A and B are shown apart, each in its own frame.
Chain A
Amino acid sequence: MKKNIFWMVLATFTLFLLACKKETQIKEAVSGFLGFQKPAHFPEPVYKFANNKVTEGGFKLGRALFYEARLSRNNTVSCGSCHIQSSAFTQHGHEVSHGIDDRLGTRNSPPIMNLAWNKAFMWGGGVFDLDLQPIVPITAHEEMDETLENVMAKLRTVPKYPTMFKTAFGTEEITTARFMKALSQFMLMCVSANAKYDKVMRKEAGATFTADEAAGYALFKTKCASCHSEPLFTDNGFHNNGLAPSNIDDQGLYTATLIATDKYKFKAPSLRNLSYTAPYMHDGRFLTLNGVFEHYNSEVQATPNLDPLLQQNGKRGISLSTDDRAKLTAFLKTLDDTELITRQDLSEQ
């Protein structure tokens, strides 16, 4: 009898142990956090990962901060308010950003996507390091209208943050640098590299372009690829693509450099995920792709520093027939990456 009890206890104990072991194994599998992974067909990233390795703790903290409305003066606006995942992290339906107290900005919210390869940030450059970017929206009057000092003070009063900072950086201390680095970690993980185009390029099983897509790809390579270069679909450069100056006469890169040859140059945006990111251009002036095509086809203006590619052989613009447009559209749709806009790990938790 006594012996039996002993065996029973031992057996249950072993069972428990096994159960526990299984559970930890499962947990490990679920949280198989891989950190930042460079897609095979992408170039080396520009971001200095040596100064900020992406860790699971840092990424999760960054995600919490990205969706944290306390970053704004009256706790109503988060980064995610203007960079909405389902719109590839843009503010769909707003030509220019819509921020605190319903104040309007002057520029269209760009996607948070493939930022590890960005050399400069914002439509007109100015910000050269992703770690410094969040200062702009947090302190801008028409965006979040808050001070960084105050944000830090607010975060210290929310019980989850000291713990999350500890997991991410080793101690509970909340500093500007840690705050910025965590936000960067989240944003760097918003990699878009799983559209149909990517699968075709990686020669994944069964992935091929249709005839129209292939024709569109060929057109794209001759007419658009010098500025919207593969595989990021931007050359990371600044160009004047001939838009008529906006009402506020936004002069783009010039504002940051004061170099006359930079007037009206804007960052060439990536053409990935266009289906989710309308309206288009720095001030969101075009509601549809056809509006963009018509611009390149017939509306290019001879403003200072117009890119030479858009004024060749005495003709301004890039001619795009109805057929060209249909094919280009078919190709551009292969750059839509449903994974980016649905990935659970990038959503507000």
Chain B
Amino acid sequence: MKKTLNFIIISAITIAITACTKKNDPTPVYNPANLASLSVEFDNIVGDRTLTFNNTGSLYTNTAGEKFSISKLQYFISNIKVTSTSGNVYTVNQDSSYFLIKGQDKATRFAKVKVPEGDYAKVTFTIGVDSLRSTMDISKRTGALDPSGTMDDGMYWGWNSGYIFFKLEGNSDVISNDVNGDPTGKKQFKYHIGGFGGYSAPTINNIHTVTIDLTAGGIAKVRKDRQANVHLLVDLMKVFNGSNSFSIAAHPNVMFSEFSTKISANLKELFKHDHTEN
């Protein structure tokens, strides 16, 4: 009896080992406690070109035919969630799920999180900061959310308590020098998109959630012994050319206003999965 049992166990192990070597990479059993690292890379581009700042010698052109340069780009990515190929959904611990991506600081382009070992077919995230966190006690706003840290880069509206989710600034000659454009004559455009829905009364809500399907570009194989990286291209041209396309001349400054909801809807279209490095 004991012998047969031993035999079964040994053959089972052998089969398991050979199976391993054959397939070389089995999908680990889903275990929410067995965490490994995953990074999501936000690689900012402008249409067919790379993002460079203040490139006045070689301007970008939107579909309205307006030529422009970019001087500042920053946005919050938060609340990362992954869905495995077999349908398990894992939400990253919220306290470790806020990232400020700064165009000028390449080191900030990765959102690094811990998720269970597994194969993932979808990544979901929020552009901006969720309304719950936007109204939390100040002691819960640390790291990227510390108003003093983000403040310097102006990612917080003090007067209307709330984070600026997305900020794009630049210059274009199409901007007039009067009050409808830039009265300082610098021909600057400014898009500061925020608005978490209001604290006591509902107001504009520019929080959007994006889900990226990784199946075509390569699923993310998260294992303890390596670093899976989901490489996204973030096409800033879509800010102007998305479903709600608009001209810079007509809307050179958009901050806390109705029109910001049009731009924030375009933001959902910025993110495309390019490939995954496993």
**Contact surface of A with B, Cβ cutoff 8 Å:** 48, 51, 119-120, 122, 126-129, 131-132, 135-136, 139-140, 147-149, 151-152, 175-177, 180-181, 255-259, 262
Contacts and interface: CB of A to CB of B under 8 A. Distances in A.
Nearest to A176: B148
A181 B204 contact: no
A51 B152 contact: no
B151 A135 contact: yes
Given A51-B139, A131-B138, A257-B201, A126 B156 contact: no
A209 B127 CA distance: 59
A290 B256 CA distance: 38
7 contacts: A51-B137, A51-B139, A132-B147, A152-B148, A175-B146, A176-B138, A259-B202
B139 A147 contact: no
Given A148-B147, A258-B258, A135 B156 contact: yes
Contacts of A129: 135, 137-138, 161
A149 B201 contact: no
Contact of B138 (A122, A181, A259): A181
A281 B70 CA distance: 42
Contacts of B204: 258
Interface string B122-152: 0000000000000101110110001111011
Given A148-B148, A176-B148, A132 B158 contact: yes
Interface in B253-270: 256-258
B247 to A, nearest CB: 23
Nearest to A120: B200
Q: Which 3 pairs across A and B sit closest by C-beta, in order of nearness?
A: A148-B148, A135-B158, A136-B158
Contacts of A128: 135, 161, 199-200
A259 B201 contact: yes
A181 B139 CA distance: 9
B147 A176 contact: yes
Interface string B182-207: 00000000000000001111111000
Nearest to A134: B158
A60 B252 CA distance: 47
Residue of B138, B147, B201, B256 ringed by the most chain A CB atoms within 10 A: B138
A94 B203 CA distance: 33
A125 to B, nearest CB: 8
A119 B200 contact: yes
A142 to B, nearest CB: 12
A180 B141 CA distance: 12
Contact of A257 (B137, B151, B198): B198
B161 A126 contact: yes
Nearest to A126: B160
Contact of A140 (B139, B146, B149, B158): B158
Contacts of A176: 138, 141, 146-149
Contacts of A151: 148
A128 B199 CA distance: 7
Given A126-B161, A128-B161, A258-B257, A135 B147 contact: yes
Contacts of A132: 138, 147, 158, 161
Given A126-B161, A147-B151, 15 more contacts: A48-B137, A51-B137, A126-B159, A127-B158, A127-B159, A128-B200, A129-B137, A129-B138, A132-B161, A147-B152, A149-B152, A176-B141, A255-B256, A259-B201, A262-B201
A147 B148 contact: yes
Residue of A131, A136, A148 ringed by the most chain B CB atoms within 10 A: A148
A177 B198 CA distance: 22
Contact of A139 (B135, B158, B200, B257): B158
A136 B198 contact: no
A140 B257 CA distance: 20
